[in-house]
Structure 1
Amino acid sequence: MYDPSMRVLTVLELLQARESVTGAELARRLEVSPRTVQRYVTRLQDLGIPVEGRRGVGGAYRLKPGFRLPPLMFTGEEALSLALGLRALQHLGLAALAPAAQAASAKLSRTLPQTLRENVNALEDAVQLDPSPWVVTTDAELLAELLGAVRRARTVELVYRSLTADETMRRVNVYRVVHLAGRWYAVGHCHLRGEKRCFRLDRMVGLNVLEDVFTPPEAFDALAYLRSSMPHLPTSHNISVWLACPPEDLRGEVSAWRTEIRPENGGTRLRCQRENLEGFAAFLLGVGRPFRVDSPPQLLDAFAVLKERCAEVQAARTIPHDPESSSVRPGD
């Protein structure tokens, strides 16, 4: 009739709707045995829901008097992801949303059962997020207006301030809003220039959402366009490397973040995207397993750079160190 998770939820619904329900009635409604009903009740208790039971013939279950079920139910992983997401919001340059994030976090804490709330609070306290020094503060209301314009496909009008502080009036069909390298950008068609352009939100003034409607292009990759139009940004390289060891030997040594790890020909195929090739080359050397670089060719060049640096370090060891020659006297 139901899968196990649906049966557990049905038990909860019946307990909320009635003062008490016998085990026999629950078994009949769910088409399971009384022993299975006991397992479902135990599952609810493990989730922090105070289900009380009366043993013996005609035994029944009820919710603890005065208990009010929160409007939302989360697993431990879901609650943790929400809590950490709210905390990370401050690192996106949206300082105005900090009070709202704190209020939402407090509501989440009140919603969770006691045991789960204590676990989430403990994990939150154990995590520190280091804000990037390059994050630019952005007007949260401006961002909300832009997102609304994107959703309704409405043209916006704004004053845009250039690097030289010159201001021009722009009309833009905004296709996407992107957060990249610590800044928020609007990407779309600029009526003044007659082509695609990207605009930093921290340089926008006096945004107005117009009644004009446009048709955005299908499957437009705003992030790819933004990267291509900003050559100073680091290039992301597609890396494919084969390591002479099974995937289980790499557990704890290779991060799964943006990384594909799978067995191949008795070893491991590792695919990922990275910007710092020299750092990734150093990482591969540190793994301590034989490997083969299949792409990109630039990764091999990175190993050559590391080789030169190692040679410089070795050469420096052979030069006698004179403390007096490196000292700095007052007034120098």
Structure 2
Amino acid sequence: MTYDPSLRVLTVLELLQAREEVTGAELARRLEVSPRTVQRYVMKLQDLGIPVEGKRGVGGAYRLKPGFRLPPLMFTGEEALSLALGLRALRQLGLHTLAPAAEAASAKLTRTLPHSLREEVQALEKAVQLDDSPWVVSTDAATLATLLRAVRASQVAEFAYTSNKGAATRRQVNVYRVMHVDGRWYAVGWCQLRQEVRSFRLDRIRELAVLEGTFTPPQNFDALAYVRSHPYGPPIYDISVWLALPPEQLHGYLSVWNTEIRPEAGGTRICCQRERLDFFASFLLTVPCDFRIDSPPELLSEFRRLGERCAAMLRSDQALHR
């Protein structure tokens, strides 16, 4: 998503209002731009009559003239904490492109708080670390916003879509819901090409447009229930695996998405449906325990293939170091 420079200029204003003084280097880091670009933003604010004081050079420190403040809003402690955590978690939803807007909103929040709450929120920012999961797929915030507008107005969305097998098609979809699950954003609705309800990953959508045509959405449509029953299209393999650890000791390793997990014989039974056995085999190798594959036999074949690859790599390494 490409931001208009005016939005970043306003973000600089918000950050300046939230702090006594901010260096050009810090503004550049938080906005993900160069220090010279920050300098141009500051000059633009000054041209607009905003009383920004400080050095204009690269790395200079900036501040607003004392007394220049916008009227504050009022939040309770729990409201402020929830807003701060929500803003910090945007990247965990794959919305990295909203970083400048999140910084501006965070600065507004800090500015509106009384001193005691402000200190708590600042302590939160220093104490809490949120890791970017490798399973979270980055999503264009503009695509998300456009689809949300289509849902709200019950208008048909048209876009180019690339399937998980690489096939590209043009779709017109009555989008019922937009949802985030298992690290990905989905649009769920009636596909006019396939004449059935389908789900579409937002990171695979291109050339999105909202058409004039409207539709009547079904009442109480449950997108989560639909995607749970159709996670990747028609499933190919029914998988049943036993792991030699109880479920409570596997926390953090197993995804509950479209997977049945239950205790069995001192260990854990996993039952699921998957289209890619190579991915599932690689996942099993990361689990710190022994396991037994009961079905399908193709999964055992996948492990034989992986074993042959590992053996070939070791032979190559040994030959290299002779």
TM range (shorter): 0.5 to 0.7
Runs in 1 of length 4+ with deviation above 6 angstroms? 66-69
- Alignment partner, residue 200 of structure 1: 201
Greater relative contact order, per chain length (Cα 8 Å cut-off, separation 6+): 2
How far did 1:214 drift? 0.8
* CA deviation map 1:147-167 (0-9, x unaligned): 000011111111111234332
Give 2:147's aligned amino acid: L
How far did 1:277 drift? 11
TM-score, normalised via structure 2 length: 0.54
- Alignment partner, residue 280 of structure 1: 247
* CA deviation map 1:259-306 (0-9, x unaligned): xxxxxxxxxxxxxxxxx995534489xxxxxxxxxxxx9634162459
How far did 1:95 drift? 1.5
Query: Aligned equivalents of 2:245 and 2:186: distance in 1?
Result: 29
Unaligned stretches of 5+ residues in structure 2: 1-66, 236-242, 252-259, 270-288, 291-316
Query: Aligned equivalents of 2:171 and 2:204: distance in 1?
Result: 12
Matched, 1:165 2:166: yes
1:111-130 alignment to 2 at 5 Å? 111-130=112-131
Structure 1 pair 165–216 and aligned structure 2 pair: CA distance change class (3 A)? same
Query: Aligned equivalents of 2:91 and 2:179: distance in 1?
Result: 16
RMSD (Å) for aligned C-alpha atoms: 3.3
Say which SS state the counterpart of residue 136 (structure 2) adopts. coil
Unaligned stretches of 5+ residues in structure 1: 1-65, 233-275, 285-296, 311-327
TM-score, normalised via structure 1 length: 0.52
Q: Quick one: percent identity of the two aligned structures?
A: 60
* Contact 1:175–1:216 (8 Å) recurs in 2: yes
* Contact 1:277–1:299 (8 Å) recurs in 2: no
Query: Aligned equivalents of 2:208 and 2:150: distance in 1?
Result: 11
How far did 1:143 drift? 0.5
- Alignment partner, residue 105 of structure 1: 106
Give 2:180's aligned amino acid: H
Matched, 1:331 2:321: yes
Name which of structure 1's ranges 138-147 and 113-122 shifts more when overlaid on structure 2: 113-122
Tell me which structure has the larger Cα radius of gyration.
1
- Alignment partner, residue 180 of structure 2: 179
Give aligned pairs, total: 195
* CA deviation map 1:185-239 (0-9, x unaligned): 100000000000011111111111111111111111101111111267xxxxxxx
* CA deviation map 1:26-69 (0-9, x unaligned): xxxxxxxxxxxxxxxxxxxxxxxxxxxxxxxxxxxxxxxx8989
- Alignment partner, residue 155 of structure 1: 156
* CA deviation map 1:11-32 (0-9, x unaligned): xxxxxxxxxxxxxxxxxxxxxx
Structure 1 pair 164–305 and aligned structure 2 pair: CA distance change class (3 A)? closer
* Contact 2:245–2:267 (8 Å) recurs in 1: no
Give 1:331's aligned amino acid: H
Say which SS state the counterpart of residue 150 (structure 1) adopts. helix
Give 1:303's aligned amino acid: G
Structure 1 pair 299–111 and aligned structure 2 pair: CA distance change class (3 A)? same
Query: Aligned equivalents of 1:143 and 1:305: distance in 2?
Result: 38
Structure 1 pair 68–170 and aligned structure 2 pair: CA distance change class (3 A)? closer
* CA deviation map 1:85-120 (0-9, x unaligned): 101012211121100000110111111111210111
Give 2:86's aligned amino acid: G
1:20-169 alignment to 2 at 5 Å? 70-169=71-170
